[in-house]
Structure 1
Amino acid sequence: MGCRKRAAKHELLRVVAIEGVCVPDPRGALPGRGAHLHPDLACLDLAVRRRAFPRAFRLQGVLDTDALRAYVGERAGETSAP
């Protein structure tokens, strides 16, 4: 979504919008329209800058991405550690 590169579904993180907040859905079980994103901070930053989340969820206005940023940041920290 952010970097627009193709990847297998299991390599991407599903994101849903719940009451104006972008929430990570790693199991893919939350209801609603989902968007897929690489679990990488650079890809997340591109998606936010391009305003891709409101378009993907077909919503008006700005969505809060703090919870998503925290989740992706934790995952990036786990994978970079030896």
Structure 2
Amino acid sequence: MSGRTHARACPERTCVGCRERSGKAGLLRVVLAGDRCVPDHRGTLPGRGAYLHPVPACVDLAIRRRAFQRAFRVPGPLDTAELRQAVPRAT
């Protein structure tokens, strides 16, 4: 036997908001469409993706830190309204 396990390893990504590493399945992928940050729930949209936890705290932190501009390598402000609507707020 080679000693390898047959279980697939879950790829890890870093949340652009809180900067913590998590399994890719637990993060929301965000892509750039023009100047809008669009949530990619299925993970199939083309382009560079940025990952973040689907919680309002991480979304707010990423926006405040300008993490999306760095992740997508673009200057200037981005429209995050669609992303804010996709992440449910705790009531």
Work out whether the TM-score is over 0.5.
Answer: yes
- Figure out how many residues of one structure are paired with residues of the other and give that number: 76
Any gaps of 5 or more consecutive residues in structure 2?
Answer: 1-15
Higher Rg: 2
TM-score norm. by structure 2 comes to 0.80
1 or 2, which has the higher strand percentage? 2
Match of 1:8 in 2: 23
Are positions 1:51 and 2:72 aligned together?
A: no
* Runs of 4+ in structure 1 over 6 Å off: none
Distance 1:44 1:5 in 2: 13
Q: CA RMSD in A?
A: 1.3
1 or 2, which has the higher helix percentage? 1
Q: Larger relative CO (CA 8 A, sep 6+): 1 or 2?
A: 1
Distance 1:58 1:6 in 2: 21
Compute the displacement of 1:6 (Å): 1.1
Please point out which of 13, 18, 29 is paired with 2:33.
18
Distance 2:74 2:46 in 1: 16
Please point out which of 63, 66, 73 is paired with 2:81.
66
Any gaps of 5 or more consecutive residues in structure 1?
Answer: none
